[in-house]
Structure 1
Amino acid sequence: MAGSHQVSGQRQAGGRAVAAGWQRKRSKTKFGIALAMSLLVLLTAGAGWIYIQLDGTIETFGADEISGRPPASANGANVLVIGTDARTGGNNALGGGNKRDIGRSDTAFLLHIYADRKHAVAVSIPRDALVGIPACKLPDGSWASPQTNTVFNAAYSVGQSVKGNPACTQNTVEKLTGLRVDHTVVVDFKDFAKMTEAVGGVQVCLPQDIYQKDLNPHRHTRGEQIFAKGPQTVSGQKALDYVRIRHGIGDDSDIGRIKRQQAFVASLLKKIRSDGMSPTSLLPLANAATESLTVDPGLGSAQKLVSFAMSLRDIDLHNTKFLTLPWRYQGARVAIVHPDAEALWAALKADHTLDGQDVGDHPAEQATNPSPSPSAPDSAMGKGISVAVVNATTVAGLAARAADALKQHGFTVTGTATAHSQHHRITVLTYGSGRKAQAETLARLFPGAELRQSTASGVSVILGTAYAAAPAAPIAVPSAVAGGARSADGDLCSDLSYG
């Protein structure tokens, strides 16, 4: 599909939701800017001598603005990185536009860091993806009404605060994914050029020659050539131009641009790892990054930020993957593809890699609670069978875990709940008249469960502590999704566009 995909949505003003259906042409903050400026701090800032230097430059947003959150998980950690196209604070000097424009979250990705601290997956969420935006806190302390079928990047603009609304974007991501966001980082592109110069440039690749008109489609002529086809090293304004290019490649879409930005960040991480870590290289790099960060209170000091960064130092480039939320075009917008998206979120929630492997650090648990080797998810197994899931234990999130597994096998989950009595040991499957065969199919996923006929008409699974103790079954991400992932050590010149 050709054409520019413009941003529209509902925006909030004066404490009231105001539907606006507007469209604007503007330069976008790119995936590379967001991921680079945040991951450089998260993955490379690692020495006590930078604490004082960094503490004075990190801003935070209020934790009280986040509500209705999923339960915390013991499986890994999730970091939301938001990149804005704000022109305030001097950003218009690099990106053009109105210097009073507070911007939108035109870049966002959720970084899942696995419990073994050796694997990571960054999932890009397209800015035009149609989502539900929950009730979000406004600057005056009131709460905006929920929105449905709205472009994702509209969440950041709720309330029209000068500093944006990162809490609303975080709420939206948690609602979309069902995952608890442990940390949130907001970046702009003010210091992006300085940062790329600090590392001595980054190697990139172009699928074709690029001209001025590709960067600015409003030009009447194609202008001068700004990039030649093939690999090259860029820094400063040149690097910024690279991550902004959208037109003239593939279908001119933001989806294709995300692919190039993912390749840029992979190259940047490789450059940092190959150069090694020293005070000389890290201090200017950390300064450039932290000057543009706004973070949640959990990362609101240099000590907290560095401590978190040091926990990630063993993540391998090959085990660092980039992919985009399963999507399809819906007119000029982006629709999320179901159930592929749910399978992806379920895998991350269970701390399973894209190929379905559990890399969580649970050796003792698995040794003391052996269970049969689960079969690969069969999406046809539960077709036409509806199941209610009840947690009869004190283990938080157990019903959600079981529901994810059931959906992977094609069952329809009608709801989850917590039982009045939370000390059941054995898992019980109940079924109404004529539903025994369905319960027996369900029992294939719950070895050792007890089947009981009940007066209720449907099928239910009442989870006991035996299920809580068993390792989670592998959850396979659809091959169409996993196959599109890029490794941080992959070929720089491959998969650089869409369409």
Structure 2
Amino acid sequence: MGRNSVRGEGSRQREPQRRDSGWAEGAQSGGVEVKGGAEGSDSAASAAGSGSGGGRRAARGGRGARGARASRRRPVSKGKRILRWTASILSLLILGTAAAGYLYYEHLNSSLRKGQRNAGGSDVEKTAPNADGQTPLNILLIGSDSRKSKANQNLGGSRDKADAPPLADVQMLLHVSADRKNASVVSIPRDTRVDIPACEDPKTKRKYPKTNTIINESLARGGAGCTLATWQELTGIYIDHWITVDFAGVVKMSDAVGGAEVCVKQPVWDRPTRLVKGGSGLKLKKAGKQTLKGEDALKWLRTRHPFFDDVGRSKAQHMYMNSVIRNLKSQNAFTDTGRLMDIAEAGVKSLQVSEEIGSVKKLFDLGMNLKHVPTDRITMLTMPRMIDPKDENHYLPQPGAADDLWEMIREDTPVDGKDAKPKPKKPAAPKDPAAPAAEIGVAVRNGAYTDQLGAAPGRAGTVAGLLQNKGYAKAEAEKGGDPIAKTQLYFPSAELEGDAQAVAKSLGIPASQVKKSTDVSGVTLVVGADWRTGDAYPKPKPKKVDPTTTDASTASDESGCMEIYKPYVWHEGLER
């Protein structure tokens, strides 16, 4: 009986059941491991029958028939088999999902279009970290009017411009404070005349010389990297990244974020008129608030003449963006992985970005920077401007007001006037103290120039004379000096830092305007546009933004409504 029971346990009939159960354990019989297959049956039978009735004695000395039965492997219950199969299937599903997720992530990364960050010669310094080591974030948002694709031709018309270089009809600088407590979006109207630096197209290697023209042409002179270089030269703000979107991209992104609520005081139809050709095609047959998606959203963002001018269009664009931000906040989009993935996928198909943010993760991280900024601390505004005396259809940055705005952003000062920036800490004492004033050589250069006011002649000689009267006998005026907005003192090495700080203190120049530079060979003072007249350096005034010159609004403001220029007010008679 013992022999038969052992032989049965080791027979091949049991093997399929053991494999089906998902386990490969060996069955135990009287301390002998019984393996599946013929080899296992023969060895088990030999062990049981060896000696004089050894198998039977073993049975009697053990548990008899019960011990023999115990040698058989206990069948696995149906419930346990189901659990094991379920676990196996779940494991496969998890692995499959992970693999699919990884492949999808790589697909998104490879689909993302990227370009060179800076295509020009502008080189400005990043804002220094705050006391907690945090730095602000600046991103240039560009709307391109490219007609290269069929989709953009269908949406934007003008198929005859398919091969024309694209223009940057929308340009906005997104600034997020170092502490991520406030943010601002500043628009420059597309018809603003500025200096565009020399640029090189990173794809064609074509070089474009420096020029003075309207800012939207910067995109055609080396791509988004040239537009970034233009902004840096104009504002003195270091811009970390750029993001470009075309017509088709706006439609996709609008649908992904769920559209936005806008408001018009009168019904509107942007169409060709007797005096003005073209038009966006926007047609809203009722006044008041309404939600726009897809192509209607694109038409709203492109509409110009019904909102009177390019500044009115910027205001309408801000209204749209404010609504988008409110929607994303109310939908918890910054914490909803599914929503984020939808937006990311639309972004990958719609956007082109500077190469250093060329991955889905980095785009997610950028979005997260706005996660904790409340809507009432996100300010939309347009650069202060004046009519260009050379062309009444163009603008120029408003002297003073525009400079103050750029300085506030450079210094990470909130444009909404809240949470005023704390006073900067006094700089650490230089390792090498200052030499006597009579022994310090100072080169003084004149950089007091603006496009609007031109040069302030004689400033280098005047300030050099002031220093000589203060005991700096070796102060001398030098020819040259690039235009600079704010007066700066430079020193080439740590040994001369104390000398530079002493010169700054004697003139009342803030210590924050004393910087190390390898472009100078000694202590060098560049008189900026902020000191065009007078013997005393002007005391800095608290900077603030005038809402009347910037059309400022916040993302929490839902009260705005666009006035429509009378020739574009829709009524039923227009369609008869």
1:91 aligned partner:
152
> Whole-Å Cα distance in 2 between the matches of residues 56 and 233 of structure 1?
33
Q: Is it true that 1:314 corresponds to 2:388 in the alignment? A: no
Structure 2 vs 1, CA of residues 257 and 94 (structure 1 numbering), >3 Å: closer, same or farther?
Answer: same
Q: Report Cα offsets for 1:423-482 as digits up to 9, x if no partner.
A: 41893247xxxxxxxx98x549679x9xxxxxx9x9989xxxxxxxxxx98841343567
Which residue pairs with 1:57 in the alignment? 111
Secondary structure of the corresponding residue to residue 88 of structure 1 = coil
Residue by residue, what CA displacement relative to the aligned partner does 1:30-73 show, whole Å, maximum 9, x if unpaired? xxxxxxxxxxxxxxxxx999844531321111247343311222
2:246 counterpart letter in structure 1: D
Q: Per-residue CA shift, 1:321-343, capped at 9, x if unaligned?
A: 11111112221111111111111
- Are 2:316 and 1:260 equivalent residues in the alignment? yes
Higher helix proportion (structure 1 or 2) = 2
State the distance in 2 between where 1:144 and 1:220 align: 30
**2:238 is paired with a residue of what secondary structure?**
coil
* Paired residues for 1:331-410 under 5 Å: 331-356=392-417
Q: Distance in 1 between matches of 2:273 and 2:332?
A: 34
For the residues of structure 1 that align with 2:165 and 2:274, how far apart are their CA atoms? 21
Mapped to 2, the partners of 1:444 and 1:134 lie a distance apart of 29
Match of 1:285 among 313, 332, 343: 343
Contact 1:117 1:315 in 2 (8 A): yes
Q: Closer, same or farther in 2 for the Cα pair 1:476/1:215, shift >3 Å?
A: farther
- Given the alignment of the two structures, is residue 67 of structure 1 paired with residue 121 of structure 2, yes or no? yes
Alignment map for 1:68-467 (pairs within 5 Å): 68-74=122-128, 75-89=135-149, 90-98=151-159, 99-138=162-201, 139-141=203-205, 143-148=207-212, 150-158=213-221, 165-213=223-271, 226-249=284-307, 251=308, 253-277=309-333, 278-330=336-388, 331-356=392-417, 413=487, 416-419=489-492, 421-424=495-498, 427-429=501-503, 443=508
**AA matched with 1:60:** K
Could you say what secondary structure the match of 2:168 adopts?
A: coil
Structure 1 distance, partners of 2:323, 2:219, is: 29
The change in CA–CA distance for 1:122 and 1:225 in structure 2 (over 3 A counts) is closer
Q: Does 1:484 align with 2:484?
A: no
Give 1:92 deviation, angstroms: 1.1
Quick check: 2:121–2:197 contact (8 Å CA) kept in 1?
Answer: no
Higher deviation after alignment, 107-116 or 132-141: 132-141
- CA drift of 1:357 comes to 5.5
Q: Which has the higher contact order (CA 8 A, sep 6+)?
A: 1
One-letter amino acid of the structure 1 residue matched with residue 172 of structure 2: F
Q: Which amino acid aligns with 2:155?
A: L
Task: Quote the Cα distance in structure 1 between the aligned partners of 2:278 and 2:142.
Answer: 33
Once the two structures are superposed, the pairs formed by residues 16-27 of structure 1 within 5 Å of their partners are none
Please give the alpha-carbon distance, in whole angstroms, between the structure 2 residues aligned to 1:200 and 1:142: 40
Structure 1 residue 225, shift from structure 2 partner: 5.4
- Where 1:118 maps in the other structure, the secondary structure is coil
Question: CA separation in 2, counterparts of 1:488 and 1:427?
Answer: 43
What's the TM-score, normalizing by structure 1? 0.66
TM-score of the pair, normalised by structure 2: 0.58
What runs of 5+ residues in structure 1 fail to find an aligned partner?
Answer: 1-46, 160-164, 370-383, 391-402, 408-412, 431-438, 450-455, 462-471
Contact kept? 1:54, 1:287, Cα under 8 Å:
yes
SS at match of 1:72: coil
- Opposite residue 178 of structure 2, the aligned amino acid is A
Alpha-carbon RMSD: 4.1
Q: Check the 8 A contact 1:85/1:188 in 2, yes or no.
A: yes
For 1:59, give the aligned amino acid: R
Which shows bigger deviation, 136-145 or 79-88? 136-145
Measure how far apart 1:239 and its partner are: 1.9
Distance verdict in 2 for CA 1:322–1:480, change over 3 Å:
closer
1:38 corresponds in structure 2 to none
Distance 1:207 1:183 in 2: 37
- The 2-side partners of 1:224 and 1:64 are apart by 35
Paired with 1:153 and 1:483, the residues of 2 have a C-alpha distance of 20
Alpha-carbon distance in 1 for matches of 2:240, 2:555: 23
- In the alignment, is the contact (CA less than 8 A) between 2:415 and 2:544 conserved in 1? yes
Q: How many equivalent residue pairs?
A: 381
Q: Which runs of 5+ in 2 are unaligned?
A: 1-100, 129-134, 429-457, 468-483, 515-522, 529-538, 567-576
Taking the TM superposition and a 5 Å limit, the aligned residue runs for 1:36-55 are 51-52=105-106, 54-55=108-109
Letter in 1 for 2:552: A
Specify the alignment match of 2:441 in structure 1.
none
CA deviations 1:161-183 (Å, max 9, x no partner) are xxxx1111111111001111111
Contact 1:58 1:293 (8 Å CA) reproduced = yes
Deviation at 1:355, TM superposition (A): 4.7
Cα-to-partner distance string for 1:87-119 (whole Å, 9 max, x where unaligned): 112211111112334420011111111001121
- The structure whose Rg is larger is 2
State the alpha-carbon separation in 2 of the partners of residues 246 and 129 from structure 1.
15
Match for 1:183: what amino acid? H
- Distance change (3 Å), C-alpha of 1:444 and 1:290: closer
